[in-house]
Structure 1
């Protein structure tokens, strides 16, 4: 074999190997060039995108209306100017280089200068915006930096609570401010100010979603848009119904936590509208009456007006009162602390449902009914009162004075001696039985979070360690008995309607808005019966006539309440307390 030919064959193999290696190198170099040069921007964008942020969006809160669809609570637009920091990245860099100049800075100093550059950029623009709208304002650095480091993918409110005039100025001249925009949020409004404040309640800023709520929604939120929640009254009691269900959106952020894009994926569900049994005109009259008692002082008092035929609450007033609108914004401690000072007038305290008071002589309504029904009291038999009642060496005063009293006269003159005499004959167990018929000592269920059941003795209590003096006091609404004005309204309504004890009702119904724009009204049950007085129509009729005489008879203790053209029945009452006024005199509670 020719050795030269063999060498050529071996060279050809090496040549093909070299060609193959060269082709591989060309392909590899081309791939690197494509990745580094051609696809750089695309890969850079993908490199920046890091994660999503989930944001909670509050739902529009349901409105509150009275029985005639008059508005009691609504939502008004809260106008704010916000800035999107992601749109100012180039401005931050420009300000940084202007501040830095040609200097070479150590790493940490450079970071501090970046902070200064960001703050100065936004601060100057906020100042310019404040000049445009005529509302002097300065950007608080700590608030800015907190927002920047934690939530810079969200718009930052910088000027809040704009008037419509200020909004118009900004819309006309604010377009030159890069990254700035107008944002409309919702704010709770009570158009009638303090009207029915204790009943409606108030709002406070909503705290972050609890673990329990997050578990229910099966999600957690990285950011929650500002929202309020009911903390008192009906706003608090029906928070879930009024607040609706929040929505959610996801914001795509890059590795610098700047916003890239966003998508709303969970639609919100607006809150239900609440309709009350309240009558605005009657409520206004009740509150005006409480103010008229002493316009120069914060006189304490309460008024409850019920429809005796079904238990609907037409008015529920407590004095002094407050304006719930002050709670929808920033509330200084200097304003809030006096409102909860135990030594003050406690305007937040609902005396109609939470105040515990001795009923005094108005409890003679139940003593009279018990005596008539048990035949211990004969309405025609006269009792001689001495002007006091002797009780184990002491005398219980009787403002009715001395004289002969049948049932009606004893009632409208409010004779303590008469009712103590027959109360002792009835005995404590019978009195307790009749008190239980109107559910004394138990809540009415109208406002569970701000209601007390008061105190009323049980049969076990009066069987042990109970004295005749306790029965004497109980017979005239003193001693071991505390009631609320609402409970006494329930009692009086039961006598007025012939013996039916209703659950008081304040919610007439709910209106829900459907996705197609239609509305559905869901009424609450009307006239729910809780119990009945165990008394004959004859006994109740005698008691009703005595209540009419208390007002219509010119000698009645309630004759001052007589109104020409109206037939009014009632009962006055006065109860002593252990408290004293500045003059050293005991404070008394008065009732009608």
Structure 2
């Protein structure tokens, strides 16, 4: 029995000392350290559950200088990583006098190593003491669409690290634009930590306490967006070789179905990688400015779309009978002088006809009467009251979109005109007449124009436009469901009837006839905003909703430098409406679809 016990003990000692070197390695350990474990960033999905933003593995190579073998095979090392000796020397030698670097602390030698290169290098990593690989996740995009909406990620800067209360470290990634930026808190996840034992040379020898104190990373949360990626892709195709924006939303919920800014680009070109810098510079230097999000950040004159607001306010204030006739004679005349021109059209005997034919004289007259309702010498009070309505319509302020960079637009105030005309005894409504037809100092974003279409479709209310409905965990459980209140604009339901009838007539036989679909009642209004930049064409505008009596989509299309609103903006909007409601374009309209796809409206702009 004694002999058997002795054999067991000798065998155990042999195993511990010779075969299993765990205890020897632990005996060599003189300090502990941490290895950061990076989480997977949350995914982004469209309304149908299609994955829009995914994670791809990418690898960083870190090195501790005083652990590097001076006799290492640098030629093989460089060959495996496809780098040259100059790159090696530059990356390994640091300014050791700087507090940023220490020969005993790991620093980044090389970033953004692809999985293919990593696989080859990993097989020989043991030959290069002092180097270790850290896995990161970068973004990839299954669809080459929605670059402005989805956004991208980049490395944090020094200020972000300092202000983050130790959430970020140098080299970490952060959302820099779009949904990635706005929802960074949800998407980023929580880092984990692996605690290690290190020997006197600072090299890792084992896990600390068998990993009992390790902290696993927590994946970021997923975003379920309101986007219809198929509709988004179709809208982007229609906007190829054009500059402008399309915003389409569900008027019943405020959900944004598509948000296009053109020119656009494939989001994959800005994925973290070796070619990102060159791609970024190409886009940055493009004279057509593809980085500008024209849906939310560009501010445009709304043009004749604004006439619908003028009519609604005037009827609500009791200043306009819906059956009132106002003559035109090719424009608005004052004291026998033509001040604002107009195109030829039948006499407008009611509000519907004025909307249908987009009569400038009609709406300049009405706008002046709103301002002068308390006397022609006191337009201030009238303008203040009119602006109160604009505020309720969500104009001149941010709508509260769950997206960064939303601009407010602009409507001029009494204080503004007091300053402009400070050398005058009075200022008068006749001087402000261009605002009655959506020109002058008025500015709107395209998201505001689409929301205006939704307000009219809903006969007086809207829901805050938004891009995210649900936030889910990795198991698909909803951890946050966003709700949006119904916002009334203060216009009685009855007053929307004449405006909506006029919008339908504009499509059936007015300025927007190019948007007509015989069995799909579309209500829309064209606009043509003046462009004061030299000889370039005016801007083409159209907003609409459909179907008339059960609206499912509200849309605004703004195309820069493309002329009359009915030429391009209206047919493009009608194609998107038909695609969304029916899922396809009817054969007899295929010619129109092809014409819009083939249209080249981007002008050659010389580089600065």
How do 1:193-208 and structure 2 match up within 5 A? 193=144, 195-207=145-157
Instruction: Pick the aligned partner of 2:237 from 268, 273, 288.
Output: 288
> Does the residue aligned with 1:287 lie in a helix, a strand or coil?
helix
CA distance in 2, matches of 1:431, 1:540: 17
8 Å CA contact retained: 1:245, 1:268? yes
Residue 568 of structure 1 and its aligned partner are, at CA, apart by: 0.6
Match of 1:99 in 2: none
**Matched residue, 1:541:** 497
2:528 aligned counterpart, secondary structure: strand
1:364 Cα deviation from its structure 2 partner? 0.5
What's the offset of the Cα at 1:400?
4.0
- Structure 1 residue corresponding to 2:218, chosen from 243, 266, 269: 269
Aligned match of 1:425:
369
Match of residue 339 from structure 2: 395
Aligned residues: 490
Check whether the contact 2:402–2:467 (CA below 8 A) recurs between aligned residues.
no
Indicate the RMSD between aligned Cα atoms, in angstroms.
3.5
Structure 1 stretch displaced more, 50-59 or 343-352? 50-59
Task: Within 5 Å, give how 1:237-276 maps onto structure 2.
Answer: 237-254=182-199, 256-263=201-208, 265-276=214-225
Partners of 1:545 and 1:286 in 2: CA distance? 27
User: TM-score scaled to structure 2, two decimals?
Assistant: 0.72
CA distance in 2, matches of 1:400, 1:525: 49
- Residue in 2 aligned with 1:483? 444
CA contact (8 A) 2:38 2:217 kept: yes
* 1:119-166 deviation per Cα after TM superposition (whole angstroms, max 9, x unaligned): x62412314535xxxx576552120234997466659766954455x6
Deviation at 1:288, TM superposition (A): 1.6
CA distance in 2: counterparts of 1:497 and 1:267, whole angstroms: 49
Q: CA 1:458–1:407 in 2, change beyond 3 Å: closer, same or farther? A: same
TM-score, normalised relative to structure 1: 0.74
After TM superposition, list the pairs within 5 Å mapping 1:435-446 onto structure 2: 435-446=390-401
* Pair 122,324 (structure 1): closer, same or farther in 2 beyond 3 Å: farther
Verify the 8 A CA contact 1:359 1:591 in the aligned structure 2.
Answer: no
Bigger radius of gyration, 1 or 2? 1
| Corresponding residue for residue 548 of structure 2 | none
Q: Does the 8 A contact of 2:261 with 2:294 survive in 1?
A: yes
Alignment check: 8 A CA contact 2:37 2:191 kept? yes
Aligned partner of 1:20 in structure 2 is: none
Distance 1:567 1:404, change over 3 A: closer
Q: Residue 452 of structure 1: SS of its match in structure 2? A: coil
Q: Which moved more, 1:178-187 or 1:398-407?
A: 178-187
Deviation at 1:431, TM superposition (A): 2.9
* C-alpha contact 2:269 2:276 (8 A) present in aligned 1: no
Give the structure 2 partner of residue 567 of structure 1: 521
For 2:265, the equivalent position in structure 1 comes to 322
Residue 569 of structure 2: aligned partner: none
Question: For the structure 1 residues 433 and 170, does the alpha-carbon distance in structure 2 shift closer, same or farther, using more than 3 Å as the test?
Answer: closer
Are 2:30 and 1:69 equivalent residues in the alignment?
no
Matched ranges for 1:103-502 at <5 A:
118=70, 121-127=72-78, 129=80, 140-146=88-94, 150=102, 154=106, 161-162=113-114, 164=116, 174=124, 177=127, 184-193=135-144, 195-207=145-157, 210-214=161-165, 226-254=171-199, 256-263=201-208, 265-291=214-240, 295=241, 299-327=242-270, 328-330=272-274, 335-341=279-285, 344-391=287-334, 395-401=339-345, 403-427=347-371, 428-447=383-402, 449-458=404-413, 460-461=415-416, 465=421, 466-502=427-463
Is the contact made by 2:410 and 2:443 (CA closer than 8 Å) also made in structure 1? yes
**In structure 2, C-alpha distance between the alignment counterparts of 1:51 and 1:182, rounded to whole Å:** 21
1:577 maps to 531
Q: Residues 390-441 of structure 1, C-alpha deviation per residue, up to 9 Å, x if partnerless?
A: 2575521112457454322221111101111111112134432321220211
Residue pair 2:393, 2:452 contacting (<8 A) in 1 also: yes
Q: CA deviation at 1:549?
A: 1.0
SS at match of 2:523: coil
- Tell me how far 1:471 sits from its aligned partner: 3.3
- Where 2:218 maps in the other structure, the secondary structure is coil
Matches of 1:324 and 1:146 in 2, distance apart?
Answer: 34
The C-alpha deviation readout for 1:355-405, integer Å capped at 9, x for no partner, is 111100000110111222233322323221110212575521112457454
* In structure 1, distance between residues paired with 2:279 and 2:114: 23
Distance 1:417 1:396 in 2: 7
CA distance in 1, matches of 2:368, 2:390: 15
Aligned CA distance change for structure 1 residues 585 and 280 (closer, same or farther; 3 Å): closer
Q: Deviations over 1:159-210 (max 9, x none)?
A: 954455x666667x758856588764322111112x1111111111234673
Q: CA deviation at 1:577?
A: 2.8
2:478 to 493, 502, 521: 521
Q: Secondary structure at the match of 1:483?
A: coil
For the 8 Å contact 2:239–2:262, the answer to whether it is kept is yes
Instruction: Report the alpha carbon displacement of residue 522 of structure 1 after superposing the two structures with TM.
Output: 3.0
Structure 1 runs not aligned, ≥5 long? 1-43, 93-117
| Unaligned ranges ≥5, structure 2 | 1-23, 372-382, 422-426, 544-608
Shift of 1:322: 2.4
Matched-pair contact (CA < 8 Å) for 2:152–2:175: yes
CA distance in 1, matches of 2:536, 2:80: 61
| Shift in CA distance, 141/66, structure 1 to aligned 2, threshold 3 Å | same
